[in-house]
Amino acid sequence: MKPINLILSSFSLAGAAISYEPSPRPVLLPSPYQPRVPFPYPLQRSGKLCIVNTHGDGVTDDSFSVLFALWDCNDGGHVLFPRGETYTIGTAMDLTFLRRIDIDIQGHIQFTNDIEYWQANSFRFGFQNVTSFFKLGGEDVWIYGGGTLYGNGQVWYDTYAKDIYTLRPVLIGIDGLRDSVFSDLNLRHSPQYFHFVANASNVVFNNINIGGGSLNENKAANSDGWDTYRSEDITIMKSVVDNGDDCVSLKPNSTNILLQSLTCTGSHGISIGSLGQYPSQHDIISSIHASNITMINSSNGARIKVWPDIPSPMSPDLQGGGGSGYVRNVTFEDFTLENVDYAIEITQCYGQKNLTLCREFPSRLRMEDIFFRGFKGTTSKKFEPLVAALACSSPTLCSNIQARDIDVVSPGGRRRQAYCLNVIEEDLDLECTSDFRGWS
């Protein structure tokens, strides 16, 4: 472990007068839909309160302070990061031991820009080069308080622009978390994804505010709001995202996911995938419901992206193709769109720019029972007059793909025109054309 200058940093104040007031636990009110399983609602913690101390200079590592408090108040306590305080994290932390704990973040938590250290010590997830500053797991964990987590992303954007093989940590890395809640948090300038949710079940994200792009010409690449992976019963609701990539992306083996009441600006939309990237993997997506979504100045409203059955280079650090699986029972409904490139996009040619080659090597991943309903708004000029693109690499791979009540207008006033390949036009409230204008 990296040597750091540490001081004792947690005060156990059971029954004692304190100067900082804990936040009340947030109330979760899902709307318009209820999740498949009830939200976790544990009793209020009756154990001690641990206030995390800080060096406060914005430089010295406070990681031991955080770990001390979490261990001290684990299994029934309440950890408080007081309002007005700044905490600096410079050490990778394994937090998969958490159980029955409230983590009340009212202050500001920032991660150091020591790229060399994080390259060597951040936690690796084994999927698409994902690493994280810390790994969060356990059960019955509530994290809230109105504070901010700051990823110090600009140094990572600048470094990635020079070396695309730089491993950039996600801001919140989850592995094996159950029956837990994140609410009332601000996330800023993540080096890569803001959340990577892996091997999790019954986790709720409520009232999360995500933002922060690059301050120069170096793009804040892969800044997804949420990515889910091998997880089930995840709810993301009542949140705001301003980023430059997927608002939410459902990666392989995401099931029973509810996304609702989200506003996404500058994003790539609500995405499923990419899928079928790894030849040895069988990817499953099922029982997905996305509702009441506002999408502004984005490349997509809703999309599904699947690799074909041929090696394809999206970029030198992201290649794939040849995997199998299915996407089943997915509903996108009540989307309001403003200046998006495509309202709806389905591609089984992800990463492969040669459409003819993609059709010669069709995907090994099936799609069935996919519903788009209640889309309204405007597209951009990028693919005018098209408002959508729906492409299956083979007619045997897609069944029951429906688009109904689609009231989306391109800038030229053309309604409901779409590029269609191997889909049934009668199931679409769209005017199909073979005039392909490209992928978003």
Which residues are part of the catalytic machinery?
A: 268
Cα gap 87→92, rounded to integer Å: 14
284: left (phi over 0), alpha (psi -120 to 50) or beta: beta
Cα gap 201→175, rounded to integer Å: 10
Cα gap 79→362, rounded to integer Å: 52
280: left (phi over 0), alpha (psi -120 to 50) or beta: alpha
- Measured in whole angstroms, the distance separating CA 412 from the mean position of its chain's CA atoms is 33
Half-sphere exposure of 6 (CA within 13 A, CB side): 16
Burial class (CB in 10 A: 0-12, 13-18, 19+), 356: exposed
Could you tell me if 171 and 110 are in contact, meaning their C-beta atoms sit under 8 angstroms apart?
A: no
